[in-house]
Amino acid sequence: MATRWGICSAGKICHDFTVALKTLPPGDHQIVAVAARKLQDAQEFAKKHSIPKAYGSYEELARDPEIDVVYVGVIQPYHLPVCTVFMKAQKNVLCEKPLAMNFREVQELVTSAKMNNVFLMEALWTRFFPATLEIGRLLSQGDVGEVKMVKADFGLPLMSVPRAVQKELGGGALLDIGIYCLQFICMVYNGEKPECIQATGVCLDTGVDEGMVVTLKFSRNRMAVFTCSIAVTLPNEASIIGTKGTIRVPQHMWCPTSLVVNGKETTYPLPDPYLPLNFINSTGMRYEAEEVRQCLLKGLKESPRMSNTDSLLLAEVMDEARRQVGVVYSQDQ
């Protein structure tokens, strides 16, 4: 039986996720309905993607009995209230990153998922790419020895994008794109909490971070450092340096399609989209969608590859980094 999806919001990321879903077998994944704040937007989205039903409110989508799981692609400050609506209606949820604005809100969502006995996962698609799974395999086999250092950077010129620079829209380099670097580091170090967090950055007049550099120290003298910026394009690479070798993601570290292991490169091509995409490599969101399906088939309430404990750790580290740099959102009050 197919996993039946509802799409929450009709924006750019929901467009790309829908295109990615349709690269998977229709017998496994079906899109039942889409909802937006304006019915016309939902109807136009439904027409473009051949989705049977369109709703003009998220509450209507939550009440649809034919939906198994909802993909939530609203802007970040609305993740908590919108996801809560769906979970209270007994809907499983895949929510775009960051799962919420801070640790307290993430904890609230995790608690709600447990109380309502539903599946909840933060949509950090990086975790599910074939290249990422290969990284996990290489590390588990000890191919590069003991990892001593992880480096990652992600920077794009987003200063003209309102959601990236405005505080009320959840803007800032760390929450928008730096989270990809941090999750990569936490994945390599198996979800271990860092012993020390040191962050420095610069803020815009709007009160959000334009850029940040974060250094993390882990047990056994292992280190990590990441840089993020919404002002400039960075190399957007990641490196894992061990005592016996190196694994490098040479480009697009947040959606990797190639790996260089001790100098040898392997590529992992993605399927072609049926409609133009808004973001690079977006058909790779198919992997997180399939992860959700497999978890639901097994009766799991969270993914072993991107658990709610992982999301709590990310939020906790980001809260501390923001505190040191001086970024405060209304949700922190």
Over residues 133-192, the pLDDT tens digits come to 999 999 999 999 999 999 999 999 999 999 999 999 999 999 999 999 999 999 999 999
Does domain 130-267+309-327 bear CATH number 3.30.360.10? Answer: yes
Phi first, then psi, for residue 144 (nearest 5°) are -110, 15
DSSP letters, 157-178, are: --TT-HHHH-GGGT-SHIIIII
Helix (H) or strand (E) holding 273, with range, is none
**What angle, rounded to 10 degrees, do the helices at 103-116 and 308-325 form?**
160
**pTM above 0.85?**
yes
Q: Torsion angle, CA of 54/59/60/62, rounded to 10 degrees? A: 90
**Which neighbouring-strand residues pair with 198?**
215
Other C-beta atoms closer than 10 Å to the C-beta of 4 total 16
pLDDT at site 249: 98
Question: How far apart (Å, rounded) are the C-alpha atoms in residues 136 and 232?
Answer: 30
- In this prediction, residues 232-238 reach a mean pLDDT of 98
Find, among 139, 89, 317, the residue nearest to 214 by Cα: 317
Q: Which CATH class is domain 3-125?
A: alpha beta
8-state DSSP, 271:
P
Torsion of CA 40, 88, 95, 159, to 10 degrees: 60
CB 314 within 8 A of CB 182: yes
Phi first, then psi: give them for residue 205, nearest 5 degrees.
-60, -25
Extents of the domains making up the chain: 3-125, 130-267+309-327
State CA 133 to chain mean position distance.
Answer: 16
- Residue 194 has what pLDDT? 98
Q: Determine the Cα angle at 320 with ends 109 and 316, to 5°.
A: 30
Neighbours of 82 (CB within 10 A): 23
- pLDDT above 70 coverage of the chain, percent: 100
- pLDDT per position as a tens digit, 294-317: 999 999 999 999 999 999 999 999
Q: What is the pLDDT of residues 239-286, one digit of tens each?
A: 999 999 999 999 999 999 999 999 999 999 999 999 999 999 999 999
How many CA atoms within 13 Å lie on the side-chain side of 315?
24
Res 206: pLDDT? 98
SS3 for 224?
A: strand
DSSP 91: -
